[in-house]
Chains A and B, each alone.
Chain A
Amino acid sequence: MSIELMLIILLPLLGSLFVMSAKDNLLQTFKNAEQAALLVILVNIALIFYLFLSLSPRDIQNGFVAQYSWHFIGIFDFSFGADVLSLMFVFGCQIAMFLGVLGIRREQQNQKQILVYSLIYLSLLNGYFFALDMMSFYMCFAAQLFPLYMLIGFSLTERQHKLLVRLSLHHFLGAMLLLASCIFIFSLKQNDVLLVTLDKLHLSYRKSIFVWGGLFLAFILRMPVWPFHHATTAVWGALKNPLTFLALHVLPLSGIYGFMRCWPLNIPFEISVLTPLFQALCILTMVFAAFGSYAYINAGNKLSNYIFVYDLLYFLAVFLPTDVIRLNISYSVFSFLLITSCLVVLQAHVFRESIRLNVGIKSILSDMPRARIAYCLFVLAALGLPVSAFFWNNFLIVSEIFNFHLYVGIIVVLCITLAGVSLLQNMYVLKDENSSCPDLSDVKDIDFTTFFVMMGVAFLLLLSLVKPLWFII
């Protein structure tokens, strides 16, 4: 069982070595590199299915299906394991990256480098989601930042690099704080500090402030919560490359996963004083993001704000003093990742075409039948209509928020609705066939492969409606 875990973590890394060895600036070599990347991710998806199939109903609730200890560093023992929670996150990330790789087919610049770093990033993400002990968790948490920095750096223009430095400073500050927490934890116990036993550590008052405060801020810094939101949203707005956008999109979700894994149900007193403040900040940011999407004409910004609102919803959910909806959060994040990945790829295609033909994006979808179908489908799914899997899980999450605080629940529902309506507005602009527009006969539709993959994703979402883990039994 352990070999599958190791393969899921290491295969993208090996794939990146293969892509790295390809020659530069040749269309054929890019095709080879792209196919290698797609193959690696497909194998990973197959392995994840295999791991899911080995789940028993008892495991679905809390058991680990696979565990692997890695002694290769010699000083620390790294433990990796998989449960439903981590598998759902990993599965979502693989599909998002798969779609991202398909989305950069027509990109002109730095394709090879972006593929290399995205595969390294994926490998570290998988390691992060599978980490069982504190050391491997921290290592993957911090190491992700380097490929992410390179990915974004290759995708931004010279003028936008200042944004990247600011963003990296946020992220590295989080990594340093987590490192400080790790140091304090390791000074108590030299090795094998498992994430599940973190809340059982006996810490002195001062150390518990350092440990829990460090963990809290480390994950918060990955979230677009005010006052840390500006750099993330600015870079989101500037990114045109779908694969890079998706890589950055996963980062706040990794923060949410961190809270789900490490944060004890009973928040330590030392930090609990601060949590209402952060919850208030989170709600405030959510309201601004929801209303902010109406201030933008740019469709990309509207989608960014939609993602922003949902990230904050999950953030609020993980802070609820209950763990009954933990699996629902992971199911919802899975659907959310799938939906947003498709929308990001479609929007990137639309922008690329509008820039190539030097026309606006208004009614551009009218001459792209495949893209139009996919776009409508995924916007409707993103709205969270009652017939989608996304809806049922969000319904449970929002119910819990209502249970926790009525007014907070009302605000959250309002924000989700506003964000969804802004996407509808977006769709209307893109496919409005009545408005006058320049000649779009030269416009290229999304290719068949991408379209079929998207339909496959839609099918996956449809099956999830019936039962989130339909593929297990």
Chain B
Amino acid sequence: MIENILYTLTETSLLAGIAFLFLKMFISKSQESSSFKIAQMFVVFSLASAVLFYNKGILPQYFETSSFSTLAYGISCILVLVWLLLASKWFLNTKEQSSTYFCILALSALLCFSLILKAAHFGVLLASLSFLSVIQYCLFRLSKQNEDLYHAARRYGLISLIFLSLFGFSVFLLVGNLSYTQAAMYITEISPLFKMLIILGILCGIFFFLNIAPFHFWLTDTISPLVLPVATYFNIVSQIALWGLFFKLQTTFFQSLNENLQRVYFAFGVLSIILGIVGANASRFLRKIFASISLYQAGVILLFISTLKENLTSSCFIYLELYLFVLLGVYICFYAFKINGEYPVNLNLLKGVSSSKPYVSATFLFDCVTLLGLPPLTYFMMQFMLLTEIAQHPLIIYIILFGLLSLLPVYLKIIETIFFLKKEQNFDRVDFSFYIYLLIHTVLLIIFMFKPQILLLQMNILN
């Protein structure tokens, strides 16, 4: 009994944190910033217990705790910690009153990630995804000032309901064979029509959460008016856990269907790359640009997966991790750039920012150049290794490389605006802690550049 309680500490600590913050919200009227510290404390506790019991769990018919799920959850925890850190600065600056509520949502989202990553049962997965949808809906509605957001949240609620219904319908069609292994066996025995319906529902549901084209519009079109911490969540924080789920399903449930899914992944991958490129080139809104770049990256990962090469999922996971890490640097810069207390959304507002904020601009430039895949930076190394693995698929290599080339004008446009154009706005003083975050981020990127083995060590866990 005590053992079982200990094994669930990862989740129970988060539940305790949520309960504590609820109490605080209703009872105490103390400083709002303390909510972030409390939330971070519970996240650290949850992370520590996850690492401690990395291969232990309860209810094996519903949950499966593996080193992969622990790794993905651990990275999610770290991302949530950084997110809370950045969000606390945002709340401090904007004087928003809902910080405790925000922290509750953050902990709830992390709880969902834990359940999603550990799930070995479609019923549990459906419930966790539904819970996550509700949290994401609440995050959409976090800022009550903007009327557009209200409509965006409603639209999101409706679309997520449709996709969850599709997912639920597929789960219903599995007729009781709900654990991943049972479902994988069952699906090989049923008629092609049923098979197609089940795969379609599950895949569409997951692709919706992963913002893969053509199911990405709910995010890329609404990310600009979202408040910055919520945009950070959708673009960075949620990604590792959701991709972790996809990779897990890829190696369990979809394993036997890979031959059938190869073309599906290729088609979705190419579509994501094209729409990502078009979206990034057509927009001058910073968050939309980077959301579109994320769409391109999602397409790239799908193309890698479509080659069905062995062990490529683990390399893709590290690639994704690295991408999100670089993107995190970009978002830290977004938090650092402020004009009269407002966070600039349009690229035009950043004209000539390098003259007044040279260090933040230099880091932003470093991140952009890294994302551009210029050697010898870490991102290039990872990309090169993956591309070498799929050298027998020249078409995919050329699609990825020309996609990257098509994103070049976007990066050049950003660099031109920040470095070559004349300054038009006066930027606020940058909080000193952002310099520290950026320094740590840059130093880590440089370390990864010189010692990529540090990242590749994860391969042992992932394989």
Q: In whole angstroms, how far apart are the Cα atoms of A206 and B398 in the complex?
A: 14
Contact (Cβ within 8 A) A173 B384: no
Interface class of chain B by DSSP: helix
When distances are taken between beta carbons in the complex, the residues of chain A under 8 Å from B381 are: 73, 75
Instruction: With CB as the reference atom, state the residue of chain A lying closest to B413.
Output: A165
Within 370-412 of B, Cβ neighbours of A (below 8 Å) are at 374-376, 381, 384-385, 387-388, 391-392, 394, 397-398, 401-402, 404-405, 408-409, 412
Q: Which of A153-161, A240-248, A439-447 contacts B (4 or more CB under 8 A)?
A: A153-161
What is the minimal beta-carbon distance from A218 to any residue of chain B, in angstroms?
12
| Other-chain residue from B387, B397, B453 in contact with A74 (beta carbon distance below 8 A) | B453
Contact (Cβ within 8 A) A73 B376: yes
Q: Residues 171-203 of chain A: 1 if any B CB is under 8 Å from the residue's CB, otherwise 0?
A: 011001001101110110000000000000000
Knowing A139-B376, A146-B369 are in contact, say whether A186-B391 is a contact too (CB < 8 A).
yes
What is the minimal beta-carbon distance from A150 to any residue of chain B, in angstroms?
7
Q: In whole angstroms, how far apart are the Cα atoms of A73 and B449 in the complex?
A: 7
Instruction: With CB as the reference atom, state the residue of chain A lying closest to B417.
Output: A161
What is the minimal beta-carbon distance from B24 to any residue of chain A, in angstroms?
47
Q: In whole angstroms, how far apart are the Cα atoms of A250 and B374 in the complex?
A: 20
What is the minimal beta-carbon distance from B400 to any residue of chain A, in angstroms?
10
Contact (Cβ within 8 A) B408 A168: yes
What is the minimal beta-carbon distance from B2 to any residue of chain A, in angstroms?
45
Contact (Cβ within 8 A) B394 A146: no
Contact (Cβ within 8 A) A183 B387: yes
A339 at the interface (CB under 8 A from B): no
A466 at the interface (CB under 8 A from B): no
Contact (Cβ within 8 A) B397 A180: yes
A80 at the interface (CB under 8 A from B): no
22 contacts between A and B (CB under 8 A): A73-B376, A73-B450, A73-B452, A74-B450, A74-B453, A142-B375, A145-B374, A153-B419, A154-B420, A158-B420, A161-B416, A164-B416, A165-B412, A169-B405, A169-B408, A172-B408, A176-B402, A179-B384, A180-B397, A180-B401, A186-B384, A186-B391
When distances are taken between beta carbons in the complex, the residues of chain A under 8 Å from B369 are: 146
Q: Residues 441-463 of chain B: 1 if any A CB is under 8 Å from the residue's CB, otherwise 0?
A: 00000000111110000000000
Q: Residues 414-437 of chain B: 1 if any A CB is under 8 Å from the residue's CB, otherwise 0?
A: 011001111000000000000000
Instruction: With CB as the reference atom, state the residue of chain A lying closest to B454.
Output: A74
Q: Given A143-B374, A153-B416, A172-B405, 13 more contacts at CB 8 Å? A: A73-B376, A73-B449, A74-B450, A74-B451, A138-B375, A142-B375, A150-B419, A165-B413, A165-B416, A168-B408, A176-B402, A184-B391, A186-B388
When distances are taken between beta carbons in the complex, the residues of chain A under 8 Å from B419 are: 150, 153-154
Q: In whole angstroms, how far apart are the Cα atoms of A210 and B422 in the complex?
A: 43
Q: How large is the interface on B (under 10, 10 to 19, 20 to 34, 35 or more residues)?
A: 20 to 34
Lowest 4 CB-CB distances: which A-B pairs, in order?
A187-B391, A139-B375, A176-B401, A153-B420
What is the minimal beta-carbon distance from A344 to any residue of chain B, in angstroms?
22
Knowing A73-B452, A75-B452, A146-B369 are in contact, say whether A183-B384 is a contact too (CB < 8 A).
yes
When distances are taken between beta carbons in the complex, the residues of chain A under 8 Å from B397 are: 180, 183
A149 at the interface (CB under 8 A from B): yes
When distances are taken between beta carbons in the complex, the residues of chain B under 8 Å from A470 are: none
When distances are taken between beta carbons in the complex, the residues of chain A under 8 Å from B401 are: 176, 179-180
A72 at the interface (CB under 8 A from B): yes
Chain B residues in contact with chain A, CB under 8 A? Answer: 369, 374-376, 381, 384-385, 387-388, 391-392, 394, 397-398, 401-402, 404-405, 408-409, 412-413, 415-416, 419-422, 449-453
Instruction: With CB as the reference atom, state the residue of chain B lying closest to A156.
Output: B420
Knowing A153-B419, A161-B420 are in contact, say whether A180-B408 is a contact too (CB < 8 A).
no
Instruction: With CB as the reference atom, state the residue of chain A lying closest to B456.
Output: A75
When distances are taken between beta carbons in the complex, the residues of chain B under 8 Å from A169 are: 405, 408-409
Q: How large is the interface on A (under 10, 10 to 19, 20 to 34, 35 or more residues)?
A: 20 to 34
When distances are taken between beta carbons in the complex, the residues of chain B under 8 Å from A153 are: 415-416, 419-420
Chain A residues in contact with chain B, CB under 8 A? Answer: 72-75, 138-139, 142-143, 145-146, 149-150, 153-154, 156, 158, 161, 164-165, 168-169, 172-173, 176, 179-180, 182-184, 186-187, 206, 210
Instruction: With CB as the reference atom, state the residue of chain B lying closest to A141.
Output: B375
What is the minimal beta-carbon distance from B197 to any residue of chain A, in angstroms?
39
When distances are taken between beta carbons in the complex, the residues of chain A under 8 Å from B394 are: 180, 184, 206, 210
Instruction: With CB as the reference atom, state the residue of chain A lying closest to B405.
Output: A176
When distances are taken between beta carbons in the complex, the residues of chain A under 8 Å from B453 are: 74-75
What is the minimal beta-carbon distance from B390 to any residue of chain A, in angstroms?
9
Contact (Cβ within 8 A) B452 A158: no
Q: In whole angstroms, how far apart are the Cα atoms of A75 and B454 in the complex?
A: 11
What is the minimal beta-carbon distance from B300 to any residue of chain A, in angstroms?
14
Q: In whole angstroms, how far apart are the Cα atoms of A142 and B387 in the complex?
A: 17
Q: In whole angstroms, how far apart are the Cα atoms of A180 and B401 in the complex?
A: 8
Pick the most buried of B375, B398, B402: most chain A CB atoms within 10 A of its CB: B375
When distances are taken between beta carbons in the complex, the residues of chain B under 8 Å from A158 are: 420-422
Contact (Cβ within 8 A) B412 A75: no
| Other-chain residue from B404, B412, B415, B450 in contact with A176 (beta carbon distance below 8 A) | B404
Q: In whole angstroms, how far apart are the Cα atoms of A306 and B176 in the complex?
A: 79
What is the minimal beta-carbon distance from B450 to any residue of chain A, in angstroms?
6
When distances are taken between beta carbons in the complex, the residues of chain A under 8 Å from B412 are: 149, 164-165, 168
What is the minimal beta-carbon distance from A37 to any residue of chain B, in angstroms?
19
Contact (Cβ within 8 A) B450 A142: no
Knowing A149-B412, A176-B404 are in contact, say whether A143-B420 is a contact too (CB < 8 A).
no
Pick the most buried of A73, A150, A168, A184: most chain B CB atoms within 10 A of its CB: A73
What is the minimal beta-carbon distance from B370 to any residue of chain A, in angstroms?
11
What is the minimal beta-carbon distance from B152 to any residue of chain A, in angstroms?
33
Q: In whole angstroms, how far apart are the Cα atoms of A183 and B369 in the complex?
A: 21
When distances are taken between beta carbons in the complex, the residues of chain A under 8 Å from B385 are: 75
What is the minimal beta-carbon distance from B45 to any residue of chain A, in angstroms?
35
What is the minimal beta-carbon distance from A10 to any residue of chain B, in angstroms?
13
What is the minimal beta-carbon distance from A23 to any residue of chain B, in angstroms?
11
What is the minimal beta-carbon distance from B391 to any residue of chain A, in angstroms?
3
Contact (Cβ within 8 A) B391 A183: yes
Contact (Cβ within 8 A) B374 A142: yes
What is the minimal beta-carbon distance from B338 to any residue of chain A, in angstroms?
22
Instruction: With CB as the reference atom, state the residue of chain B lying closest to A186.
Output: B388
When distances are taken between beta carbons in the complex, the residues of chain B under 8 Å from A139 are: 375-376
Q: In whole angstroms, how far apart are the Cα atoms of A182 and B449 in the complex?
A: 19
Contact (Cβ within 8 A) A72 B375: no
Pick the most buried of B369, B397, B402, B404: most chain A CB atoms within 10 A of its CB: B397
When distances are taken between beta carbons in the complex, the residues of chain B under 8 Å from A146 are: 369, 374
When distances are taken between beta carbons in the complex, the residues of chain B under 8 Å from A149 are: 412, 415
Contact (Cβ within 8 A) A183 B450: no
Q: In whole angstroms, how far apart are the Cα atoms of A138 and B388 in the complex?
A: 14
What is the minimal beta-carbon distance from B352 to any residue of chain A, in angstroms?
11
What is the minimal beta-carbon distance from B354 to any residue of chain A, in angstroms?
9
When distances are taken between beta carbons in the complex, the residues of chain B under 8 Å from A165 are: 409, 412-413, 416
Instruction: With CB as the reference atom, state the residue of chain A lying closest to B387.
Output: A183
Q: In whole angstroms, how far apart are the Cα atoms of A138 and B49 in the complex?
A: 45
Contact (Cβ within 8 A) A74 B375: no
Contact (Cβ within 8 A) B408 A72: no
Q: In whole angstroms, how far apart are the Cα atoms of A149 and B372 in the complex?
A: 13
When distances are taken between beta carbons in the complex, the residues of chain B under 8 Å from A143 are: 374-376
What is the minimal beta-carbon distance from A208 to any residue of chain B, in angstroms?
12
Q: In whole angstroms, how far apart are the Cα atoms of A143 and B374 in the complex?
A: 6
What is the minimal beta-carbon distance from B214 to any residue of chain A, in angstroms?
27
When distances are taken between beta carbons in the complex, the residues of chain A under 8 Å from B420 are: 153-154, 156, 158, 161
What is the minimal beta-carbon distance from B121 to any residue of chain A, in angstroms?
39
Q: In whole angstroms, how far apart are the Cα atoms of A49 and B401 in the complex?
A: 41
Q: In whole angstroms, how far apart are the Cα atoms of A169 and B376 in the complex?
A: 20
Q: In whole angstroms, how far apart are the Cα atoms of A176 and B406 in the complex?
A: 11
